[in-house]
A and B are shown apart, each in its own frame.
Chain A
């Protein structure tokens, strides 16, 4: 797979407080073959600052895809998604939940709030890479994204 066309690398915003998970995600994204422009914030508040280009994020680009963790300090993924969806200027952004929680309540709740996909981080790293390949192939090769 050759993802995506090299002129515009996919801009991915990862919102996750777990450093290990972020590190592994980065490696997995590389192995999944996605040429990505990588951005990272570690909680909901930071994420919203990034999206609103506030303070240190004045030069932040609009992401093509947001990978949002659920359980984070300060502001968790549920509230972050809620605020994104309430904001006219942000609600078009595709948010994919990437979490350890497989609770049916969380899954239903996040889709209700407006998540575009919900991915449970698998324990097996190989499986994780495969899941990401499928996800990126869908978002960057199959469907049209909002510009």
Chain B
């Protein structure tokens, strides 16, 4: 055991003394994590539009118009979501500030704007982003007014609204016949007014697109719901605060630090994989083999150094992540994730060293293959940002499983059950990689039968 520790300590000392290796193992991943964290946090340039998930459960003409206008609204980046759950997921992951739901019955609710109730919308908001939610509510009311004003230039829409209102008034038991008559007269007047406005608009406008342009201006003019309506709000937005998972990514660095881990693990694999090949070329492996220690002690020593550096680089990244305000959701799972990742990538290192017959081969293999695996495994784009197909393809990358494991300890908080797959994959890679790498080294003629 003493020899294993001696070899590991020697290798760690050599790693620290090689400035390039030390930089790419310990500093570069940190810079990557900080850079992406800063960029994801919106610090990378001009403030972009507020991302809002939009779910249309109604599917009627008005709801489609509403969703379309929401997409066009300045300051809002609408992200269509198929279902309420999908929209909620986007909010939970921090990819959207809120999720606007146009519920079933929206079309009907627009018709009741003159007879009580009005348009109803729902929004699911991240409680941490209440300021953005307030802004969003204002924009939804603005769009409500625009939908309402649209009715005054569209006689068929207005007639539909008025027909619905007449039916409601007729059914109402609380209104006297006189009151019902007054409402009937009012509705008739509105209908006549709308017809006149529509005919003038049709004469003045040449196409629907220009008409929309005009509406846009009207919407802008009456942009403030409060100003135009004097307290009347055409849209009732029911805000639901999302029950945020306490371990969700609480800031952008919680997303970027697992990326840093990917690059750190790659640095370790490259540094130690190449160093083992170098030992063979330089003859120091011969000295190790001549010493009264076993071949497995030598390989375990190399593996222990790689394992230790994998742990160290992850711990450094996590410490800095904490300083950047990242919360570690589940410390025990995080510890397991760090250990499993370290075992897995120690196996990858052994594989790299075993299959490479020269330093050039090791570096080429590392650059060509590991770089691609790191990129698709979450090193450049966080896994949950990737399209589904890409997420499936990335399963071939051990970096993906390390990223999932780390994210699970950090913010996914899917529990120990969710650790079984990534943990199992990583441990398997570790064991298989060590075994295959060891066998390749033992069988290689280039090792002079040292091992």
A and B: bona fide binding partners: no
Chain B residues packing against A (C-beta within 8 Å): none
Chain A residues packing against B (C-beta within 8 Å): none
